[in-house]
Amino acid sequence: MTTETFLFDTYALVELMNDNPNYTKYASQDIIVNDFIFCEFCYQLLKAGEKNSEEYLGEIEESIVYPSPKILKEAMNFRYKNKTKKMSMTDCISYIMAGNLGIKFLTGDKEFKGMEGVEFVK
């Protein structure tokens, strides 16, 4: 099986952690997250009272890539142009960042279904 790199959103990380069978094949892929996704994932683990949170965070911490100011500006422009879809700031940054890195954005967020550069999995 060929390894591919994806920028995982928080939804994808949570589904992978919860052993969603639709995400099983992504467990062996290369993961990239940004610091915004990392923060959201930390919060989700706290909210869920996850006992293994440090283990999960440690596994993805080395996968953090920081977006440049150029990407942040481009992402806010994208968010503004798509404001009727009510996309989160984090998801817009992640989507634009994935495109700039030449990889797919892995998400289950319905707002991104069918968009170019998105691997949509529920």
Model pLDDT for residues 49-67, shown as the tens digit of each residue: 999 999 999 999 999 999 9
Question: How many residues are recorded in the chain?
Answer: 122
Percent pLDDT > 90 in the chain is 98
What's 24's domain CATH number?
3.40.50.1010
* Model pLDDT, residue 109: 96
Would you say 12 and 108 are in contact if contact means Cβ atoms under 8 Å apart?
A: yes
pLDDT in tens, 14-27: 999 999 999 999 99
Query: Could you tell me the pTM of the whole model?
Result: 0.95
- Inform me whether the pLDDT recorded for 1 exceeds 80: no
Give the mean pLDDT of the chain. Answer: 96
- Sheet of 5-8: strand order equals 30-32, 5-8, 104-107, 118-120
C-alpha to C-alpha distances, 98 to 54, 76, 120, nearest whole angstrom: 26, 15, 14
* Domain, as residue range, for 70: 5-120
The number of domains in the chain is 1
